[in-house]
Structure 1
Amino acid sequence: MKLIERYLNTHHLFHKPHKWFLAFLVSPIHALEMHYKKKYHISFRHAKKLFFFDMLLLFSTIFLFAGTLFWHFYDRTVLELVSVDIAAQETRIQSGSHTTYTISFANNSDMILTNAHIAVSLPDGFILDTAQLDTRFSAEQQLFTLQDVLPGSSGNMQIAGWFYAIPNKENTITATLSYKQEGRKQTEVKARHALAILRDSVLRTSVSVSDTLLGSGTTPIEIHIENTGDQPLQAIQLPFFQTDGLQIQQTETDYGSASEYIWAIPELAPNNTATLRGKLVSTLNPSITQIDTALTPEVFIAHTYIPQQTVPLNFTVLHPGITVQPAWQNAVPHLLPKEKPVLDVSITNTGNTPLSQITLHLPLQDESIDVVQFVQENSGILTRNQAFIVNSTHNAALSTLAPGKTTTLSFTIPIRANPKGSHNALQLQPKVEGVVAILPTTRFSATKDATLKTIGSTMVLSADVRYFTKEGDQLGRGPLPPKIGKETKYWGSIRITNGGNTVNDVRFTAKLPPYVHWPGRVSVSKGEQVIYNTKNNTISWQYSGLAPREFATIHMQLGLTPNESLRGLTPILIKDIQITATDTHTKQPLLTTHIPIDTSLNQDPIGKKRGTIVQ
């Protein structure tokens, strides 16, 4: 056999022992083969001997096969004779209710089970009742420790607590019995699973709201959350509608606080009810005539929020038909400081019913607008939240608007001499509100954006090198001050901060002097990894783009090994530092550079005190 001839030698014994050992195992077969070739091959006078030889090989093969099957299927465990079970005492469980599980076990074998434990795998939302814990149970490990289980013996234990989970969803609770047969070292494990589907919840939610909505308008809404359980509930939250076009605003609550997106209740005592009142604001597509949505409260248990019983809500949607259309007179692609462009806002009744009590809201939060001058040049009133309001008191055409009719209001928009803030465009969003006769208590609204491009962006580049952190932790390695012929490792930091507009194709480049080594230790906050070019000692990094006011950081290790020519100097560690990008609004390239950074450690007072000049 070629396997024997090739691998059963001294060379493979030391260099490829696994192949040598395989050749050694099959060497008896090879020996028999060679014996056969020498004495019996093409020798018919030995046919009788060959027959017995073949039969011997056949029976040997059968014996080996039978032995292999026996070894494979032989089970020395007593798993089939040991049982473990877990079941809830309650037939109907609510999320948040007190629940007790009974765990039972039995040893029907003739072996003593030693080192026996029962581990319980509980859902994250199961809060143990410490007052009812079994003395054999470790709450930290969720483990029951048992005494030796004698043949024919059995037992049970209980675990109780408050069970929080998503209602009507399967939850798995597992009891795992592990033990060793007396006199054996092998651990045997048997598990049993219990499925729990919680029906309803102790946290009840009810909603009072009209089942008819305007496609664009507001409707009063009232939400009640009640704790029907026997324990206080901590950190309850109710996320508002996930449906596009529906928002709850102008909220008032007797428990907790509410924002535009969520109602948060720090704690709700047993049998107490929290109430929220607000306005349901709808801005829906005209093609939508029916909305099926829901509200789902969540309770904070075991470091996570667990959704509770969902309250479905079904609305019929009406569309009275009103549009607001802003348009700039003498529209230009950009605005300049001190300009006074005029914005025309047209309000049209596109429905088939008259509209009344029409009010126009023009938010003026954009810091590019000179609000004081705006109020002087336009008719209306300014609210505390910087919204300019015009109604029938200021313009008689807003008292009633017949179907198919349009009225237009014009506003002079003074631009500040020095606009500030993070806005890279002047964006105004006129909003019109009105009342429909069939729903006199419900207001509806429509909004439309008017946007003009303004100022381009800038890129700010900062760089420094440190040996110690601000807190005094050592970042660098090697002698400080640096010494001739010995390597000192510093950490360099680059911060790239974008201005008011989005920029694309952000590229950072720098160069290392020949006496600076690149260890390769680097971290970036975003974008690709830093690339080091060994041919010209340059480092580079790029990123697809940065949003307004977004920043990126690059941290890199730099190794300095000064030569005699650098004695008494503070050598440059990194130079030719620059950042390039393209402003996506102005389509103009941006370039920012930075002075070289040396070992002066100006931002590292601890390292600076230790020494910066090469010795």
Structure 2
Amino acid sequence: MKFDTQKMNMYGKRGIIALGIILFAIGAYYFYLGVTSGGVNIEISTVAEAEVGVPLDINLSIRNESNSTLKDVKVSLDIPNGAIVVGAREGQIIETRSVNDIRPSSSYEERFQMIFTEGREEGEKLTARVSYTPESIGARFEKETEKEIPAVKEGLTLEAEVSETIFPGEEFEVILKYKNTAQAVFESAELELDYPKTVTITKTDPSPIGKEKRLWNIGDIEEGSEGEIVINATTLGESGTLVINASLNAVFLGKSFTVQNKKIEIAIAPSPLSLKVTANEDPNYIAKPGDMIRYTLSYENNTRQDFEDIVIQAKLGGEMFEFGTMANVPSFNNFTKTTLWNKGSNPELEMVGAGAKGTLTFDIKLKSDYPIKRLSDKNFVLDIEAKIESPTTTEGVAAGKTVGIANLETKVMGQINVDALGLFRDAGNGVINNGPLPPQVGKATEFTIHWVLKNYGTDVNEVEVSAELENGVVFGKEIKVSDGRLEFGGEDGKIVWKIPRVNATRGVISSPLEAVFQIRVTPRPEHLGTAMPMLSMTIVKATDSFTNLTITNFDQGMTTMLTDDPTIKAEEGTVIQ
């Protein structure tokens, strides 16, 4: 056998190169594993339990156990809701920092300071990451670690003492007690109160800031200190539940945070003198422009004692009222929009006996048109705030008089209008309609139909405009649709314009919506000497988003007597031979 020495040498060299590549790949693979998996370790260390308002030290330790220097190292810490990190910007959710290169077999530690602004019983999970580029590879890697904090203790407590049940008009007391249980000072603390407009603050200790009586300046709350704020108030709310929300705020790193919330619920018992208001004898009445509304005020003595010198008043609010049409009232104050009944106007109010009841009524008309001046003028309502009171009080009630309250809000439904116009000459839309005019028997004449849509008072959804083509009329083509889509039904001759939503005041403040399409009209012998019907009544239907009612409107059917086309004479609409 004869050997080719040159070939043997060539194959030997190739084998050595291949073996070298394989060994390099294996080495690189194990190096990669060393760098990306077990080669870099990170760990979070902190105290077992955090406390609101107390800076929490979070240490992130990085150990490089690989054989390569870690370059361009970045460490980051997720910032949970209800927490801030010293040095982070307002609203920041991740704090990221660049650190020095970490050489092989060396460690680095980065310290974060986190302050929780609210407590949580379920604890909090801390998440940290380190990203780096190994010097010998050039690719970028990232590792993540987590640590659970079992709980975040409340550092500042807020408790409320209040009566469980009160009567309308009765004075009640709320005592708000706060205490600092943390090992920190809560700086520039404030108490903020949110309560309905039916509540009147009569006295407080200490005094609040400003005329609205909603904010109290407490100042720094030192470690272990406590205090209280006493508030006296009355309410003219209806029977039900009075809700008052108290918030305790403190400043951390120059910014104020809410550290405690307290929801206070007080039951308002039905008044001994009850009052109810209805509109047109329907508790769920929905009004429309031009309505005449009869309001009924029904009162009743729910006790076994008599009430003397009854006074009943009703205050009206709403832009849709036509106040000049008020009827069946003894007097009306046009400045305060209030009417009043007493024993002078109604002798039966001198005394309302035990268990007695009665009614008062008055009428008022609504405006025929919506008072729209701005794009935001929509969702009109009619408000009635009624009150009954007597100087007679019941035993055990800490009030100077007996008061009953009744409020009624009536929504005014929207209105959508469609105007159907027919034109022969329509140069404004670049349309040239062909065919004879006046229309002739057996010959086709083209016309354009315009549907113009205007919407008043409320936003509407699922708008549908429709009409049917009359005999001898066929659909030509769509010319313009400003919104939605135009559909032609084919054999039934029905044309439908569908629009998902139309905002209030469209076509009143802004330009109206419009759909334009072409039809072809071919008169028959029976149409001779008359105006030929072209289009049935145009109907618009929509869902009122404010009242959830279906509202409809229409425009009359259309003939070849094109009253909307100023270029057409009346006789040109009559079909000729």
Q: Report TM bin, short chain.
A: 0.5 to 0.7
2:404 maps to which residue?
A: 445
User: Paired residue for 1:507, among 451, 454, 464?
Assistant: 464
Asked if 1:590 corresponds to 2:543, the answer is no
CA distance in 1, matches of 2:37, 2:290: 87
In structure 2, C-alpha distance between the alignment counterparts of 1:250 and 1:158, rounded to whole Å: 51
Structure 2 counterpart of 1:198, which letter?
V
1:154-169 maps to which residues of 2 (within 5 A)? 154-160=107-113, 162-165=115-118, 167-168=120-121
The offset of 1:207, in angstroms, is 4.9
Q: Alpha-carbon deviation of 1:406? A: 1.9
Unaligned runs of 5+ in 1: 1-70, 134-138, 241-245, 286-290, 464-481, 483-493, 559-575, 596-615
Q: Write out aligned runs for 1:447-596 (5 A).
A: 447=406, 449=408, 457=415, 459=417, 496-499=453-456, 506-508=463-465, 529-531=484-486, 540-543=497-500, 580-581=540-541, 589-591=552-554
Deviation of 1:212 after TM superposition, in Å, equals: 2.4
Equivalent residues in 2 for 1:219-368 (5 A)?
A: 219-220=171-172, 229-230=186-187, 240=195, 249-250=199-200, 254-255=208-209, 270-271=219-220, 279-284=234-239, 295=245, 297=247, 308-313=259-264, 315=266, 318-325=269-276, 345-352=297-304, 354-355=306-307, 358-366=310-318
How many angstroms does 1:117 deviate by? 2.0
Structure 2 equivalent of residue 405 of structure 1: 356
Number of corresponding residues: 447
TM superposition shift of 1:457: 3.7
Distance 1:592 1:237, change over 3 A: farther
Instruction: Specify the alignment match of 1:19 in structure 2.
Output: none
In 1, Cα distance between equivalents of 2:288 and 2:95: 68
CA distance in structure 2 between the partners assigned to 1:182 and 1:127 by the alignment: 34
Distance in 1, Cα, partners of 2:100 & 2:551? 79
Q: Hey, what does 1:210 align to over in structure 2?
A: 163
> TM-score under structure 2 normalisation?
0.55
Alignment-mate amino acid for residue 199 of structure 1: K
* Secondary structure at the counterpart of residue 507 of structure 1: strand
| Structure 1 residue 517, shift from structure 2 partner | 7.8
Q: Of 71, 90, 94, which residue of structure 2 is paired with 1:114?
A: 71
Whether the 8 Å contact between 1:324 and 1:448 is mirrored in structure 2 is no
Q: How many Å apart are 1:389 and its aligned residue?
A: 3.1
Q: After the TM superposition, which residues 97-112 of structure 1 pair with which residues of structure 2 at under 5 Å, given as runs?
A: 97-108=54-65, 111-112=68-69
Identity of aligned residues (%): 14
**Cα distance in 2 between the residues matched to 1:504 and 1:145:** 53
SS state at 2:154 partner: coil
Amino acid across the alignment from 1:86: I
Partner of 2:442: none
Whichever residue aligns with residue 74 of structure 2, its letter is H
CA distance in 2, matches of 1:382, 1:517: 56
Bigger strand share: 2
- Please state if 1:199 is matched with 2:153: yes
Alignment RMSD: 6.4
Q: After TM superposition, give the deviation of residue 187 of structure 1 in Å.
A: 3.8
For the 8 Å contact 1:337–1:417, the answer to whether it is kept is: yes
Counterpart amino acid of residue 440 in structure 1? A
* Structure 1 residue 143 displacement after superposition: 1.8
CA distance in 1, matches of 2:301, 2:102: 84
Q: Give, in angstroms, the shift of residue 278 of structure 1.
A: 5.0
After superposition, residues 424-435 of structure 1 pair within 5 angstroms as 428=384, 430-433=386-389, 435=393
Write the distance in 1 (CA, Å) between the matches of 2:452 and 2:217.
46
Deviation at 1:327, TM superposition (A): 7.1
> CA shift at 1:297, angstroms?
2.9
Out of 19, 42, 50, the residue aligned to residue 84 of structure 1 is 42
Q: Quick one: distance in 1 between partners of 2:144 and 2:317?
A: 63
Q: Distance in 2 between matches of 1:381 and 1:387?
A: 6
* Structure 2: 5+ residue stretches without partners: 1-28, 222-227, 372-377, 422-429, 431-450, 468-474, 517-535, 557-561, 563-577
2:8 aligns with none
TM-score, normalised by the number of residues in structure 1? 0.52
Q: Using the alignment, how far apart are the partners of 2:280 and 2:382 within structure 1?
A: 15
Higher mean C-alpha displacement, 149-158 vs 454-463 = 454-463
Give the Cα separation in 2 of the matches to 1:384 and 1:251: 26
Q: Residues 342 and 79 (structure 1 numbering): CA distance in 2 closer, same or farther, change over 3 Å?
A: closer
Q: Say which SS state the counterpart of residue 186 (structure 2) adopts.
A: coil
SS at match of 2:132: strand
Distance in 2, Cα, partners of 1:181 & 1:280: 70
Residues 141-160 of structure 1: CA deviation (Å, up to 9, x unaligned): 72222223234322322223
Q: Spell out, residue by residue over 1:174-213, the C-alpha distance to the aligned partner (whole angstroms, 9 max, x if none).
A: 21122344423454433232445433366x7565643322
What SS does the corresponding residue of 2:76 show, helix, strand or coil?
A: strand
CA distance in 1 between counterparts of 2:550 and 2:331 reads 39
Tell me, yes or no, if the aligned pair for 1:355 and 1:437 is still in contact at 8 Å: no
Distance 1:550 1:307, change over 3 A: farther
Q: Secondary structure at the match of 2:137?
A: coil
Aligned to 2:330: 379
For 1:129 and 1:188, the matched residues in 2 are separated by 27
Asked if 1 retains the 8 angstrom alpha-carbon contact of 2:321 and 2:366, the reply is: yes
User: Do 2:42 and 2:130's aligned partners in 1 also have CA atoms closer than 8 Å?
Assistant: yes
1:139-158 correspondence to structure 2 within 5 Å: 142-158=95-111
The separation in 1 between residues aligned to 2:540 and 2:332, in whole angstroms, is: 46
Distance 2:551 2:248 in 1: 49
1:272-308 Cα deviation digits (max 9, x unpaired): 99998754454346xxxxx797735387999x99764
How big is each residue's C-alpha offset from its partner over 1:97-129, in whole Å with a ceiling of 9 and x where there is no partner? 544433223334555433322111112544443
- d(CA) in 2 for partners of 1:106, 1:580: 73
| Alignment-mate amino acid for residue 261 of structure 2 | T
Q: C-alpha distance in 2, partners of 1:306/1:229? A: 11
Conservation of the 8 A alpha-carbon contact between 2:238 and 2:268: no
Q: Distance in 2 between matches of 1:506 and 1:349?
A: 49
Aligned to 1:176: 129
**Letter of the 2:355 counterpart:** G
Higher helix share: 1
* Residue aligned with 2:153, SS: coil
Match of 2:472 in 1: none
Q: Output the amino acid matched with 1:192.
A: T
